[in-house]
Amino acid sequence: MSEFNVSASILAQTKYCEEEHLPHFAPTDGRCWNCKTNIYMPSGWEIIHFGKRRVSNLDDAELVTGITVEKASNELVTGCPHCNRSYCD
């Protein structure tokens, strides 16, 4: 699993956008304005009928969402990985 680190991911996304001349859509502090969860931290989910439910222990998770330092360094963030809200529409 790649590393989750809020401050490193914020810097990585800023640098990526500057170097690639792309708009910076991600929240500057990493906190999603819609669900209030930090996009650069992992959240664990249990898959349930027609949806998902958050779990407190990542070891019990069937799905882990969040943006790693590696992903923030190499991909444009356009929405929240937790609630799927777009930042660019």
- Average pLDDT of the chain to the nearest whole number: 93
Model confidence at 49, pLDDT cuts 50, 70, 90, reads confident
pLDDT score, position 1: 47
Region 64-71: mean pLDDT is: 95
Region 74-84: mean pLDDT is: 97
pLDDT score, position 29: 97
CA 31, 25, 17, 68 torsion-angle sign: positive
Put the strands of the sheet holding 63-65 in their side by side order.
Answer: 51-55, 43-48, 63-65
CA pair distance 25, 78, nearest whole angstrom: 6
CA pair distance 54, 70, nearest whole angstrom: 24
Structure-block tokens of residue 47: 């898959």
Quick check: 46 pLDDT over 90?
no
pLDDT score, position 74: 97
pLDDT, greater one: 59 or 21: 21
pLDDT score, position 52: 81
- Which residues lie across from 47 on neighbouring strands? 52
Q: What is the DSSP letter of 33?
A: T
